Amino acid sequence: MIVSKLIGDKRRYRQYKARIKRLPEDYRTAVEAIERYLMHFVPVDDESAISEFEDLAELFERAASDGTPIRELVGDEPTEFVEEFARNHTKGGYAPDKERQRLLRGIERAIEAERVSR
């Protein structure tokens, strides 16, 4: 299965997905946009890929718990945020401009949902 080649341990991946599912909708939308973008990066090994997702879940769980706005978390340039986040977990990688744009749209949808819910 391609997912196991990309992220490694399926059990840990399922646990990560369950954590994301419990996030408020706006945070979940942002994480899903970031996750899709990150899937285009080539991880160093299986362990670094799943660790990256677990760290992402932890970051957004903490932000949701603290009430940190998504824009404050990802900044004005979500692409830079995600690429810096990825650099902490992988060497190299690639993300076509199409995915950059998809990431930006996903974050904007999350921020708009956040505004509506407040």
Output the pTM of the full model: 0.73
Question: In 39-96, which residue ranges form alpha helices assigned H by DSSP?
Answer: 46-66, 70-74, 78-87
In one letter, which amino acid is 29?
A: T
Residue-wise pLDDT tens digits, 75-103 = 999 989 988 888 777 654 555 566 778 88
pLDDT over threshold 70, residue 68: yes
Number of domains forming the structure of the chain: 1
Which pLDDT tens digit goes with each residue over 21-61? 999 999 999 999 999 888 876 454 556 678 889 999 999 99
**Which residues touch 78 (CB under 8 Å, ≥6 apart)?**
33, 34, 103, 104, 107
Domain housing 105: 2-117
User: Which CATH number characterizes residue 86's domain?
Assistant: 1.10.1900.10
